[in-house]
Amino acid sequence: MAHAQGQQHPIGVYLKIWGLLFILSTASYLVDYFHFQGYLRWSLIILFMFLKAGLIVAVFMHMIWERLALMYAILVPPLLLIVLLGIGAFEGNYTFLTRGTFFGTGSEVPVKHR
């Protein structure tokens, strides 16, 4: 591991990752092109997305060659976003149901009471 003179890695590493990113992007485009739907579509999109993100952070941004202290400092805090994601999904579904009840076609609530 070359650290004193900065991050130096053979050019082949970058070219291979570049190629992989092209393949993964094509794959995620094909998910849309072939009209995959439902859970198959969503799981494939998320799989390709995380693979691409991982390759970019690990190799292009040199994260796998950094010390663990920096890795943890940068990669652990975003896990907090899972909580926000959960709250958003929960609240979004609730709002949707509420709108369905009050503004939907089968509304029981008279207009003047809105």
Partner 1 sequence: MTQPAMTSSAESLPLAGGLQGVVADLSSDQRAFKNVPWGKAMMWIFLLSDTFIFSCFLISYMWVRISTTEPWPNPSEVFALTLWGHKIPLILIAIMTFVLISSSGTMAMAVKFGYEKNKKMTFVLLLITAALGATFVGMQAFEWTKLIVEEGVRPWSNPMGAPQFGATFFMITGFHGTHVSIGVIFLIIVAIKVLRGDLDHERPGFMTGRKGSYEIVEIMGLYWHFVDLVWVFIFAFFYLW
Site for partner 1 contains 27 (CB under 8 A): no
Count residues binding partner 1 (CB under 8 A).
57
Site for partner 1 contains 109 (CB under 8 A): no
- What single-letter amino acid sits at 37? Q
Question: Which of 40, 43, 64, 95 is close enough to bind partner 1 by CB under 8 A?
Answer: 95
Give the span between the Cα atoms of 14 and 56, in whole angstroms: 10
In terms of CB distance, is 73 or 109 closer to partner 1?
73
Which regions of the chain does DSSP assign to beta strands (E)?
Answer: none
Site for partner 1 contains 64 (CB under 8 A): no
Backbone φ, ψ for residue 77 (5° rounding) = -55, -40
